[in-house]
Amino acid sequence: MLTIATWVLVIIFIFPVFWTILNGFKSEFDATANPPKFLFSPDLAGYELVAQRGMLAYLWNSVVASIGSTVVVMLLSIPAAYALSVREIKQSQNTLFFLISTRFLPVAAGILPLYLILKNLGFLDNVWALAIIYAAINIPLAIWMLRSFFMEIPKEVTEAARIDGAGIIRELVRIVVPITIPGIVAAALICFIFAWNEYFIATLVTGATAKTTPPFLASFVDGRGFFLAVLSSAATLAALPVVVVGWLAQKHLVRGLSLGAIK
C-alpha cells in the first residue's frame, strides 16, 4: 500500500513537469486543444520563437545574478554562522532573531527606496546590482541554515584544533568547512534557486540589458491571453540549469538537508 501511495505521489508531482515539456513540442493549436492531445506531430516552433526573442541573453543574466549572489552569500554567511555557533559571540540569539526577522519584511515594502537608491547610483538595469540585492536577501537565511549545520560539529573536534594552536581562520578553513561541506552545498543551492526564480525585483529594477528569465517568461502572457506552447518551451529551457545543478549536487544536497535533523 505504501508503494502504491508513493507512486501516486510521484505521478502527481511529476505530471506537471512532463506536461510542460510535452507542450513545448506542440503547436499552439495542439497545446490549447480541449480535450488535451497526447498524440500530436512534434513542432519546434515554440523553441524557434524563444531563440529569436533572445532567451539565451536572459538565461545568461540569470546565471550571472544567481551564481554571483550565491558566491557573495557564502563568503559572508560562512564566517557569520561560524561566529554565531562555534565561536559564539555575545548577543548571538538577538542577532539571529534580527537576521531572521528581516525575512518577514515584504519585498514590496522596500522596493520604492531600493529603486530610488539604484536610480541615484546609476545601477538600474544592472545585473551585478541585482546579484547584490539577491545576496542581501539570502544572507539571513544562509546564516540561519549554516549555523544549524555548524552546531552539529562535536565540540571536542574544535577544542582539539585550538589545543594544537589553530587560530580562528585556520579552524574555520581546515576544520569547520570540510566537515560541513554537504550543508554548505545545500545552503548554496537553495540560495541559487531563490535567486534564479525571483521575479518581482527583477521586473522592477531591470530593463532590456539585465532582464532575467522570470520576467522574460512573463512576457508570453499579455492582454490577449497566454501562448502555452511557447511558454512551455521557454519554461523547459529555464528549468534546465537548476535541474542540472541539483543533479550534480544531489549527493551533498541529501546529506546536507539531513545534517541538522539528527543529533
pLDDT digits over 43-98, tens only?
898 899 999 999 999 999 999 999 999 999 999 999 999 888 877 677 777 888 88
Of 68, 44, 193, whose CA–CA distance to 136 is shortest? 68
Write down the pLDDT at residue 257: 62
Write down the pLDDT at residue 263: 43
Strand partners, 222: 225
The structure's pTM equals 0.87
Of 260, 104, 92, whose CA–CA distance to 184 is shortest? 260
Rounded to the nearest angstrom, the gap between the alpha carbon of residue 219 and the centroid of all alpha carbons in its chain is 21
Domain locations in the chain as residue ranges: 1-43, 54-259
Q: How confident is the model at residue 21 (pLDDT cuts 50, 70, 90)?
A: very high
Q: How confident is the model at residue 2 (pLDDT cuts 50, 70, 90)?
A: low
Contact 99, 144 (CB under 8 A): yes
CATH superfamily of 54-259: MetI-like (1.10.3720.10)
The 3-state secondary structure of 97-128, one letter per residue: HHHHHHHHCCHHHHHHHHHHHHHHHCCCCCHH
Taking the CA of residue 247 as centre, how many other CA atoms within 13 Å lie in the half-sphere pointing to its CB? 6
